[in-house]
Amino acid sequence: MSKDVIIKVENLCKLYGKNKAEATELMKRGADKDTVYKKTGVTVALWDVSFEVERGKIFVIIGLSGSGKSTLIRCLNLLTKPTSGKIYFEGEDIQKFSKQQILNYRRNKISMVFQNFGLMSHRNVLNNVAYGLEVKNVPRQLRENKAREMIALVGLDGWEEQAISNLSGGMKQRVGLARALASDPDVLLMDEPFSALDPLVRREMQFELLSIQSKLEKTIIFITHDINEAFKLGDTVAIMRDGKIIQIDTPERMSARPADDYVREFIESADKTQILTAKHVMIRPKCLVKPKDMPSQAIREMGANDVSTAYVVDDKMKFLGVITIDDAILARDKNLPMPSLIKTDVYTCHEDTILSEILSIAAESKYPLAVLDSQGKLKGIISKAAVLSSL
């Protein structure tokens, strides 16, 4: 299946300074940006950056201060004009747009959420959210209805008439997000939107963004310097250093196969519970039985595999529960049907569940967790020891 690419960037460069030709030649010969600056006075903000963003996905760009990530995101709406390279939106080169096309592109196709909120203090919440629609000359009733819908979506229902000065930092960022969404853009650019928030509010906003994304399926390009935030939010993550992209991959693959020592060191600071999923730590169960099996057969299976619990599945591997060695012996001695002693109130998880959501369940469960696919079929099991050792 071919990818539905909405934004494509090819060999993008941004240089600041007069001697760009000389700086370009030095970069082509392998010089680093510090050397180029010392010899030419030119700052290399971006160099040979290429990537694709799929429609409806969250593409996260991460890097330290000075890595070029904010310059890159501002190139995508031409707030910053590249020195060279191409930027395509739905196959069209945006650098060839007329002034009117660029205006339409910014108003209708792409919207930005800033770190410092960018709200207007003389307008209340409703009028801040409706501002983009007002600029587009949308009739007042229609724009206010849309603004109220977005305000409710970001969890600020009832705050429409409040002054901006009455809001907390997290609430202001929700207003900024609602304003960006009100214009119904195809692409949402988010430049470190949560970095000014305290950790608790930041986590709430990350959850809010993922919740909104599950409903709207927007294309989001998200800038951050926090590896945990990048791995929590991103379908795909790009790591930048000195104006270059070092690696682009999913959080799981990047964690498993970092491109170099720089990426490896970056990832080592990440909270592994936000990266690894159940499928990364599960093992195949040693002992499987079916409800039609005799209790004596279940006992033999558990004995042969040196376990005290068997996982019960039907003929299509659908998970039904567990049976313990004690219950199997009871069923054999009292001639009871084995299905009557299957324990069905056991903890399960999906194979894509992240470990942070499994930790508390694993701690409470009497048995290793059963890992199921979307059809309820048993894919593996996870013990407490497996969760802890993976961290």
Domain count, the chain: 2
The answer to whether residues 243 and 284 belong to one domain is no
The strand ranges marked E within 17-114 are 43-54, 58-62, 84-89, 92-93, 110-113
Instruction: For residue 175, give the nearest of 159, 191, 196, 187 by alpha carbon.
Output: 159
Instruction: For residue 111, give the nearest of 160, 77, 78 by alpha carbon.
Output: 77
Look at the block and give the residue holding tokens 């219950």: 327
The answer to whether residues 177 and 231 belong to one domain is yes
Q: Containing domain of residue 379, as a range?
A: 279-390
The answer to whether residues 234 and 317 belong to one domain is no
Using an 8 Å Cβ cutoff, are 321 and 338 in contact?
Answer: no
Picking from 219, 249, 270, the residue at the C-terminal end of a domain is 270
At 274 the pLDDT is 67
The answer to whether residues 102 and 228 belong to one domain is yes
- H-run or E-run covering 249: strand 244-249
At 275 the pLDDT is 67
The answer to whether residues 175 and 291 belong to one domain is no
Separate counts of helices (H) and strands (E) for the chain: 17, 16
Residues of the chain with pLDDT under 70: 1, 117, 271-275, 386-391
Picking from 270, 300, 333, the residue at the C-terminal end of a domain is 270
CATH number of the domain at 345, please: 3.10.580.10
Q: What is the pTM of this model?
A: 0.73
Using an 8 Å Cβ cutoff, are 183 and 132 in contact?
Answer: yes
Q: Rounded distance, CA 388 to CA 280, Å?
A: 13
The answer to whether residues 238 and 298 belong to one domain is no
Sheet holding 319-324, edge to edge: 288-289, 309-313, 319-324
CATH number of the domain at 233, please: 3.40.50.300
- H-run or E-run covering 382: strand 378-382
pLDDT in tens, 251-297: 888 888 899 999 988 887 776 666 677 887 888 888 999 999 999 99
The answer to whether residues 313 and 242 belong to one domain is no
